[in-house]
Chains A and B, each alone.
Chain A
Amino acid sequence: MGAAGVAALALLVAFQELPRPLWLWAVLAGAYVGLEYAAVEVSDRLLISSAVAVAFGTVVVLGPESGVLAVAVMAALSLAHPAYFARRRWTLPVANFGQLVVSTSVGLGLLAVLLPSGPLTRGDIPRILAAAGTAALVFDWVNSRLVAFMTRRLYPDRPPQAWASLFSNHLAMTVLAMLGSLAGVAYLLGGALVLPLVGLTFVAGHFGFHSYARLRRAHLDTVHGFVKAIEALDPYTRGHTDRVAHFVTITGGELGLGPERMERLHSAALLHDAGKLAVPAALLRKAGPLTPEEEAALVRHMRVVESLLAEIEVLAPVVGLLEEAHRVAAGGPGGREARVLAAADAFDAMTSTRSFQAAVTQAQAFAQLRARAGTLGADVVEALIPAVTRRGEVYGSPDDASSAEVARLVKERAIRA
C-alpha cells in the first residue's frame, strides 16, 4: 500500500505543476492538517473530518493543473502525527499514507477533469457542485475499499463494514466536498475575506462538537461512577455491573446487533441495578432468602429509581429496556435485547457468590441457562455460551466440590443469622 502511495505521488509530481502561490497552499495545508487531527464525533456512529472541504476547495482555488498534487502532499503531511513517532510502529502510518494518497489522487483527479476550464463565473457553480458531489462519492468509495483491504490484512478477525451501510458518512462527505468547492469559487470571485469567515464558522462548529463529545463522555462517566457506588453497598455484587456489561457486549456481538442497539444495551447493563441505590442496605445485605414483603419492598424501591431515570430523556429507552428485562427475568415475554440483558444478569448471578447463595460452576450455569431457554430464548443462550467459551473465559466456582463447600458455608451462616 505504501508503494502504491509513493507511485501515485510520483505520477502527480510528473504530470502536475507546483502549487502557486506557495503561501496560499501553506495556509490551506495548515487548515487541512489541523482539521484532519480534529475530527469530530457528530453522533454515535459518525466521526467526520472537515479536511475534505479544504481538499476540494484547494483544487478549485489552485486550479486543476496543480490542485491534485497540492492536496496529495497535504494528505501525506497529515500523517506525520507525533503519536506515530512516539510509538515507533510504522505499519499503520505507511498503510494509511498509501490509502489516503491513492484515494485523494483518484477522487480529486476526477474533480480536476470535471471542472470547467478557463476563469470561473457564477454560471459555472451548478456544474462545479455536481462535479464535487460525484468526485466525493468516488473518493469515498475508493477510500473505503482501501480501508477494507487494509483491515483484512492487518486485523483478519474484524468483520468488514459494507459501503452501503455508511450512508451518513457518504452524505457528510458529499456535503463537505460541495461546501469546500463553493468556498473555493467564493474566494476566486469574492476575495480572500471569505476564507477566514468560513474557517471561523467551522471552528465554532468543531468546538461545539468537541464540547458535545466531552460532555457525553462526562455524562457516561458520571452514570458509571454512581453505578460503582451502588455496587459498594453490597460487597457480594462488586464487579457485577462490569461483568454484565461485558456479557451483553460479547453476546450482542455474537448475535450481530447494530451499533445503536449495542450502545443502548451497554447503557442498560450499566444501569440495570441502579434501583438498588434506594434500597435499604439491611435488605441488600440480608443473609438468606427475602420474605415476600421484603421482596415487594425491594421491587418498589427499585421501580422508584427507574422512574426517576426514565425522566432523563436519553435514558428513557434504556429504562424501557430494563423494565422489559425485569419481566423476562420473572418468566415473562420480551424482545431480543431484553433477553440478552436478562441472560447476562442471570449468568453472572449464577457464577457469583451472593449473601444468600453460592456460585455454581460454569458448566452448571450453562446447563441452567439452557433449562431457561424457553424464557431467555434459545438464540440468546446459544449466543452467550460460545461467546464466553471461544474467548477461553471461565466464570464461577472452579469445581463441583468447591461449589458444594461454599454452598454449605453460606447455608450455615444463614442459619446462624
Chain B
Amino acid sequence: MPERFLWRVVLPATAIAGGLSMAIWRHELLLSLVIAGALAAGHLLPLRTSQGRLQPMSPAVAAAAALVHALGPLAWGAALGLPVGWALSRLRYGERTAADLLPGEAAGAAVFVAVFAGLDSLTVHEAGSWLDLAALLPSGAAWYLASAGARTGWTESRRRFSGSLLWRAALREWPVYLVLAAAGSLFGMTAHALGPWAALLAGLPYGFVHLAFDRLANASATHRQTIRALGRVPEAGGFSIPGHAERSADVAVAIGGELRLAPGDIRRVEDAALLADIGRVVLGAPALASGGAFTSTDLAHWSSAIIAEAPTLQAVAALVAESPRPYRRPGEARDASLPPAAQVVKVATAYDYAIGGGLEPGDALEVLHRGVAYDYDPEVLAALRPVLQRRGQVRA
C-alpha cells in the first residue's frame, strides 16, 4: 500500500506543485536548483532521532531559505529536491526507510511554505529581521505537526500498532526539528553579513549536535539490543520457547498503545515482557519451565530479583514482580493498586505461551477470556483483540 500511495498521490502532487512554482518563479532558477540540491543532499546527512528514525535536513534548508526570503525557490526546489532525496535515500537506506520519509517531508514543506508566506505577508520588513525569526516559530511548528501526522497515517508500522501510539511517538521527536530549525536560522540570519562564512557558522554547531544525536541514537540502540539479548538467554538455555520474549514484547507494546499508556510505561512494558522469563535461568531445567512445582509468582519473583540488580531497571523489576497478581480476588472489587502495565505484561506473555502451546490466535484469545473472572483484566484483554485484528490474525 505505501509504495502505491507514493506513486499515485505523493509524487504527482509534488510534480504539480513543482510545475506551478517553476512557472511563477522561473527567474530564480539558479537559487531554486541550489535549494533543491541542498534538500536532496540533506537526505544523505540525516539526523537520527532518539527512536532511531532518520530525519533529513530539510527543515534546516527550509528555515534558511525562508529567512533570506527565497520562499518561491523553496517551493519548487522542494518539489524537485524531495523526490530526488527520496531516490537517494532509497539507494542508501533501502526502500522501506525511504518510503517512510517522503510523505512527512512533502507535507511538512508544503505546510511550512503556506504558513510562512501567510505570516510574512502581514508586515513589510527586510530579510533576516526578528519578524522573520518570529514567523519561523509557527511555521516550523506547522512543519513538525504536519510531518508527524503524515508519517502516522502513512508508515508501514500502522499495520501492527495503533495510530495513537504512532502519533505520540512521532510527537516525541520535537528536539530534532528544533535543532534543524535553529541551524538553518543561523545560516539565514547571518548569510547577508557573513556571506559563505555563514555556512561554517551554522555547520560547526550543527556538526556538534549531529555527533551528539548520533551517539545518543547508537547508545539507545545498544541498550535495546542488550535487553533483547538478555531476554533471549532463557531460550538459549532451552528453558523457554524460542522467540517468546520478542513476540511477547511486540504484543505488549501494541496492547499498551491501544490502552493509550504513557510512552514511559510502554517502554517499561516492553522491557518487562522481554525480561519476564529471565528467572527461568534460576530453575536451570526445562522441565520446571512449564509449571510443575513452581508457580508463576515464584518465577516472577526470581525474574524480578535478577532484573533489580540493574539500577536503571528498578521500575521494570517492580512491574515483573506485580505481573502475576490477579486483577481482583474472589469476593473483592478490582485491585486498584495494580498498575494496568503489569496486566499488559501478564496478558501478552500468557497469549504467547498459549500460541506456543499450539493454539490458533482465536483459540488463545478464548482461553484467556476464560480467565477474566480473576486472572486477566477484561479491559486489557479487550485491547488484545484489535491488535490481532490489525495483524489479520483474528476476524474483525
Question: What residues of chain A have their CB less than 8 Å away from a CB belonging to chain B?
Answer: 40, 42, 50, 122, 125, 175, 178-179, 182-183, 185-186, 189-191, 193-194, 197-198, 200-202, 204-209, 211-212, 215-216, 218-219, 221-226, 228-229, 232-233, 277-284, 301, 304-305, 308-309, 311-315
**Which of A190, A207, A226, A312 makes the CB contact (< 8 A) with B193?**
A190
Answer whether A185 and B309 are a contact pair too, CB < 8 Å, given A193-B130, A222-B223, A313-B222: no
Answer whether A197 and B223 are a contact pair too, CB < 8 Å, given A182-B200, A229-B309, A308-B229: no
The segment out of B26-34, B69-77, B177-185, B360-368 that lies at the interface is B177-185
Q: How far is the CA of A281 from the CA of B311 in the complex (A)?
A: 25
Question: Are A194 and B208 interface neighbours, CB within 8 A?
Answer: no
For A40, what are the chain B residues with a Cβ–Cβ distance below 8 Å?
212
Question: Are A223 and B193 interface neighbours, CB within 8 A?
Answer: no
For A200, what are the chain B residues with a Cβ–Cβ distance below 8 Å?
178-179, 182
Question: What residues of chain B have their CB less than 8 Å away from a CB belonging to chain A?
Answer: 50, 128, 130, 133, 175, 178-179, 182-183, 185-186, 189-190, 192-195, 197-198, 200-201, 204-206, 208-209, 211-213, 215-216, 218-223, 225-227, 229-230, 232-234, 236-239, 281-285, 305-313
For B307, what are the chain A residues with a Cβ–Cβ distance below 8 Å?
225
For B223, what are the chain A residues with a Cβ–Cβ distance below 8 Å?
215, 218-219, 222
Quick one: closest A residue to B209, CB to CB? A205
For A207, what are the chain B residues with a Cβ–Cβ distance below 8 Å?
175, 212
Q: How far is the CA of A34 from the CA of B331 in the complex (A)?
A: 59
**Which of B190, B209, B238, B308 makes the CB contact (< 8 A) with A201?**
B209
Q: How far is the CA of A233 from the CA of B285 in the complex (A)?
A: 13
For B182, what are the chain A residues with a Cβ–Cβ distance below 8 Å?
197, 200-201, 204
**Closest Cβ–Cβ distance, residue B214 to chain A (whole Å):** 9
14 pairs across A/B with beta carbons < 8 Å? A182-B197, A190-B193, A197-B185, A197-B186, A205-B208, A212-B215, A212-B216, A218-B223, A218-B311, A222-B312, A278-B238, A281-B284, A311-B229, A312-B225
Question: Are A222 and B313 interface neighbours, CB within 8 A?
Answer: yes
For A191, what are the chain B residues with a Cβ–Cβ distance below 8 Å?
189, 193
Quick one: closest A residue to B223, CB to CB? A219
Q: How far is the CA of A204 from the CA of B309 in the complex (A)?
A: 32
**Closest Cβ–Cβ distance, residue B197 to chain A (whole Å):** 5
Question: Are A305 and B233 interface neighbours, CB within 8 A?
Answer: yes
Question: Are B194 and A208 interface neighbours, CB within 8 A?
Answer: no
Question: Are B216 and A215 interface neighbours, CB within 8 A?
Answer: yes
**Which of A175, A183, A277 makes the CB contact (< 8 A) with B233?**
A277
Q: What 10 A-B pairs have minimum CB-CB distances, sorted nearest first?
A: A208-B212, A278-B237, A281-B284, A225-B310, A225-B309, A190-B193, A201-B205, A189-B193, A229-B306, A280-B284
Total CB contacts across the A-B interface at under 8 A: 185
Question: Are B193 and A228 interface neighbours, CB within 8 A?
Answer: no
Q: How far is the CA of A216 from the CA of B130 in the complex (A)?
A: 40
**Closest Cβ–Cβ distance, residue B222 to chain A (whole Å):** 5
For B232, what are the chain A residues with a Cβ–Cβ distance below 8 Å?
308
Q: How far is the CA of A336 from the CA of B229 in the complex (A)?
A: 28
Question: Are A211 and B230 interface neighbours, CB within 8 A?
Answer: no
**Which of B225, B237, B306, B308 makes the CB contact (< 8 A) with A279?**
B237
Question: Are B313 and A219 interface neighbours, CB within 8 A?
Answer: no
For B218, what are the chain A residues with a Cβ–Cβ distance below 8 Å?
313
**Which of B201, B227, B234 makes the CB contact (< 8 A) with A182?**
B201
Beyond A208-B216, A225-B307, A281-B283, 13 extra complex contacts between A and B, CB < 8 Å: A179-B201, A190-B128, A190-B189, A201-B209, A202-B205, A202-B209, A204-B175, A204-B178, A205-B211, A219-B223, A277-B237, A308-B229, A313-B225
Question: Are A305 and B282 interface neighbours, CB within 8 A?
Answer: no
For B193, what are the chain A residues with a Cβ–Cβ distance below 8 Å?
122, 186, 189-191
Question: Are B310 and A186 interface neighbours, CB within 8 A?
Answer: no
Question: Are B211 and A42 interface neighbours, CB within 8 A?
Answer: yes
